[in-house]
């Protein structure tokens, strides 16, 4: 019930981005003080054992004081991914140590040295 008061958490702008099995929602909202903030929601369709489905959602709230740092961090991380893909090699921690992996257009493949096998 709104009691005649304006609902300050109504969405001002919403952009759904479909990406494979996931949908990301970028929603601009306003606080009671009229400061704008962004929520980023990841939604993925999941199935119960009986075949019925539900949506699993994860949400991030991003406030104006963090926009620049978040944007810079995201840009840096994406740039690093592109750099690693271009080099073709990066390390992946596997729980017991590190394993060298190569990236190729077909996906990921491990470097395996068969010379050490008896």
pTM above 0.75, yes or no: no
By CB atoms closer than 10 A (0-12, 13-18, 19+), residue 84 is middle
CATH number, span 1-69:
3.10.450.700
Residues of the chain with CATH 3.10.450.700: 1-69
E runs forming strands in 64-110: 89-93, 98-104, 107-110
pLDDT of residue 3: 47
pLDDT of residue 86: 85
CA end-to-end span of the chain, whole Å? 73
For the chain, which ranges sit under pLDDT 50? 1-4, 6, 8, 112-118
Contacts of residue 71, defined as CB under 8 A and 6 or more positions apart, other chains included, come to none
């Amino acid at each position: 019930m709104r009691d005649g008061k304006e609902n300050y958490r109504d969405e001002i702008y919403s952009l759904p981005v479909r990406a494979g099995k996931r949908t990301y929602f970028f929603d601009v909202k306003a606080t009671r003080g009229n400061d704008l903030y962004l929520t980023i929601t990841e939604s993925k369709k999941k199935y119960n054992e009986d075949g019925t489905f539900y949506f699993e959602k994860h949400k991030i709230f991003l406030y104006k004081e963090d926009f620049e740092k978040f944007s810079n961090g995201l840009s840096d991380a994406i740039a690093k991914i592109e750099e690693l893909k271009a080099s073709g090699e990066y390390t992946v921690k596997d729980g017991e140590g590190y394993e060298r992996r190569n990236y190729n257009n077909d996906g990921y493949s491990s470097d395996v040295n068969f010379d050490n096998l008896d």
